[in-house]
Structure 1
Amino acid sequence: MERILLTASVIAMGASGAFAGGIDRSGQSVAVIFENGNYAEFSLGNVNPSVSGQALAIPAPGLNGALSGDMAASYTQFSGAIKYKFSDNLDGALIFDQPYGANVDYPAGTAYYATGSTATLKTTAITGVLQYTMPSNVSVYGGLRYETMSAEASIPFVAGYTATGSKDGALGYLVGIAYEKPEIALRVALTYNSKIKHEIDTAEASLFGPLNTVTEVNSPKSVNLEFQSGVAKDTLVFGSIRWVDWSNFDISPTQYGVLTSGGSLVSYDNDTISYSLGVGRKFNEHWSAALTLGYEKQDGGIASNLGPTDGYKSIGLGATYTQDNMKISAGVRYVDIGDAQVQLGPVSPSANFTDNHAVGFGMRVGFSF
């Protein structure tokens, strides 16, 4: 039961990538380390957000009540992992994911003040994990994560500002502890992910000329609590709580700070805590399904024009088909994105972003060997 339901559960929760706090996308789960024996998996998904707002109609430059149009471009997520059992007590895994990202594309030709603004942030990570299991069913695990980050931005309404950040790679680490009781499919796992410090070579330009700088960006530290338990025959309850240190995340290229009197290209006022809770059901030896709910509270305050969202509610549905040593899972997730307000220079708020949503689709193929 456990192996079939878990895959459906993960797909229902993730459905090709989260639309969570900050620029969080993968959730950085290391659940593959708990698979039985030797195992490999590959996942692919697509997220289609719809995020739009309207400028306030007040007597200030650019604030004419114009509609922004849909400023959130769709994106595709890929991940893969391989897990190997070295002995009865020692397991290892290698995980590839895309932990953080942003795709901003304000439509050109509108009367909205941010018209034509674009921004992308891309990351990839390779994580190596070793797990040692003690006779008491308690295990400890840890490893290293190598992460790359690159970014680009074009903000015409800030003196024609553009920036291109070259790809930078840096190391971080993770540590965790877990307790399992296999006879009832019980597992509780707590994982700490360290921050990762990037120093990104940045080519900036504006109406005042070009400038080559180095921008320091720290991927945030985070803590994941993941849990599951059988509650009846062929029925599993599962969930997670994820805290991310977004209040210490900041992207502030040098020239952009000068142009905006100390403003940040991207920053967040508060940390985020994301919750998910679901139930999975095995129908027979081949089929299982899972339903999950997700929640992240709205913090209020002012959001960035490059990320005008605040919290979310979500529902996801996943199903898994198992045949011999292969299992194929698919899922869909609907996200009700929280309303947000943004600012333009000293005018705060300058626009309202309301009634937005995202839909994600994902597929995962796993093999035991």
Structure 2
Amino acid sequence: MMMRVGTIAAGAAMAVAASTAAHAGGIERTTQSAMLLFAEGNRAELSYGHVNPDLTGTTVDTARVPNVADSFNLPSIGLKMDVSDRVAVALIYDKPFGADILYDPSNIVLGGTIAEAETSALTALAKFQINENVSVFGGLRFQKAEGEITLSGAAYGPASGYNVKLEENWATGYVVGAAYEIPEIAFRLALTYNSEIEHDFDTQENIAPGVTSTTKVKTPQSVNLEFQTGIAEDTLLMASVRWAEHSAFRIKPTAFGRDLVSLEDTTTYTLGVGRRFTPKFAASVSVAYEAPGKELVSPLSPRTGLTAITLGGSYKVSDQVEISGGVSHIWFGDAMPQTGGTARGDFTDNTATAFGLKVAYTF
């Protein structure tokens, strides 16, 4: 009865991948999922996501702080191929981490504070099917990163005006995982570990002009537990849990001598249902939740926790081509930007909207 439900995993269940990019804490922008390896047949994917955060608040002098978070785009390319009945390989390009924060320069307390960071990653994966039910997979992730931070405003005292540039650097990490499947009911339980990646950035600080130092920065390790199962004909239940060690992300330039960023680890829960309504059209709805952490947060990431809802759909244009998309609305938890352990502002009732579009070609 549930044989046909497995096709939803390549349709509605994947439709919202780009639109859920904002469902992550800290500096994350994607979930670094390896589930492309489980797509049916050879498959090429091109996706685009756009996230529009709205993070506003007030500072301790009651001055209004307009939106400090710029919108950002998330392009992604994926290619999966079956080498044999037991072996599949995949290549994925995405932008897993980033930041784009700017406080209005007119604000006395934090005005002019900037955090900009961008990463690009190329992940090469392989999966080996041990038997009908069990598979293992893994691979390497090659990651490029760069960033710049400026501290500005009365909240930073004598450090106001400090600027540091982290020059472009490449580093390597790895991915390992395993999955258990029951194909007859589209059941899959997959566990994926993404290693931390340590970058050694050539660093320029304006308090040490002409001096180049090295700053070690780790992007977070994470664990994805992803689940799906058919619950009725053409109906799929989906769930995931993602943990990321954001507390390991530290930036401590040599001349400044102190950490510029302090983040908390996050665990994000997602639950959704997908249904194929016709042979060509499928849709899904999912909710996500991340428990709020401490209210005192870094001004460079002025939010904590989230609740989100995502709607997605997919349409099979032909036997080879499928177009899917989704839209998300996210409600962030209240947070207080702090320096030196003292609250410098209050950010409440903040949200984000995101949408994604994906074109997949099966061959």
Question: Aligned partners of 1:211 and 1:312: how far apart in 2?
Answer: 41
Counterpart of 2:156 in structure 1 is: none
CA deviations on 1:98-156 (whole Å, 9 max, x unpaired) are 111111122232x3411122221101111111111022410001111111110012223
Note closer, same or farther for the CA distance 1:237–1:92 as it changes in structure 2 (3 Å cut): same
CA contact (8 A) 2:12 2:275 kept: no
Question: Aligned partners of 2:144 and 2:6: how far apart in 1?
Answer: 34
CA deviations on 1:35-57 (whole Å, 9 max, x unpaired) are 1111110110110000012112x
Counterpart of 1:220 in structure 2 is: 220
Counterpart of 1:96 in structure 2 is: 93
Question: Aligned partners of 1:2 and 1:161: how far apart in 2?
Answer: 54
CA RMSD of aligned residues (A): 1.5
Secondary structure of 2:292's partner? coil
Question: Aligned partners of 1:267 and 1:2: how far apart in 2?
Answer: 42
Counterpart residue identity of residue 43, structure 1? S
CA contact (8 A) 2:44 2:360 kept: yes
Whether 2:156 is the aligned partner of 1:155: answer no
Question: Aligned partners of 1:36 and 1:146: how far apart in 2?
Answer: 26
Secondary structure of 2:12's partner? helix
Deviation, structure 1 residue 211: 4.1
TM-score after normalising by structure 1: 0.92
Question: Aligned partners of 2:233 and 2:322: how far apart in 1?
Answer: 21
Secondary structure of 1:231's partner? strand
Question: Aligned partners of 2:125 and 2:195: how far apart in 1?
Answer: 14
Counterpart of 1:255 in structure 2 is: 255
CA deviations on 1:57-101 (whole Å, 9 max, x unpaired) are xxxxxxx22122110000000111100101100110011111111
CA contact (8 A) 1:288 1:319 kept: yes
Counterpart residue identity of residue 9, structure 1? A
Question: Aligned partners of 2:71 and 2:15: how far apart in 1?
Answer: 19
Counterpart of 2:165 in structure 1 is: 164
Question: Aligned partners of 1:224 and 1:284: how far apart in 2?
Answer: 31
Whether 2:133 is the aligned partner of 1:143: answer no
Question: Aligned partners of 2:30 and 2:74: how far apart in 1?
Answer: 8
Whether 2:354 is the aligned partner of 1:354: answer no
Counterpart of 2:197 in structure 1 is: 196
Counterpart residue identity of residue 30, structure 1? A
Question: Aligned partners of 1:120 and 1:276: how far apart in 2?
Answer: 28
CA contact (8 A) 1:18 1:27 kept: no
Question: Aligned partners of 1:5 and 1:180: how far apart in 2?
Answer: 13
Counterpart residue identity of residue 133, structure 1? Q
Question: Aligned partners of 1:345 and 1:179: how far apart in 2?
Answer: 48
Identity over aligned pairs, percent: 40
Q: Of the candidates 103, 106, 118, which is equivalent to residue 103 of structure 2?
A: 106
Counterpart of 2:21 in structure 1 is: 17
Deviation, structure 1 residue 267: 2.0
Q: Of the candidates 317, 321, 325, which is equivalent to residue 315 of structure 2?
A: 321
CA contact (8 A) 1:250 1:267 kept: yes
Question: Aligned partners of 2:357 and 2:105: how far apart in 1?
Answer: 33
Counterpart residue identity of residue 212, structure 2? N
Counterpart of 1:61 in structure 2 is: none
Secondary structure of 2:11's partner? helix
CA deviations on 1:14-44 (whole Å, 9 max, x unpaired) are 4162241111111000110001111110110
Question: Aligned partners of 1:41 and 1:136: how far apart in 2?
Answer: 26
Structure 2: runs of 5+ lacking an equivalent: 154-158
Deviation, structure 1 residue 222: 0.8
Counterpart of 1:60 in structure 2 is: none
Aligned pairs, number: 353
CA contact (8 A) 2:243 2:267 kept: yes
Question: Aligned partners of 2:99 and 2:160: how far apart in 1?
Answer: 22
CA deviations on 1:194-229 (whole Å, 9 max, x unpaired) are 1111000111114x7564221110111111000100
CA contact (8 A) 1:5 1:289 kept: no
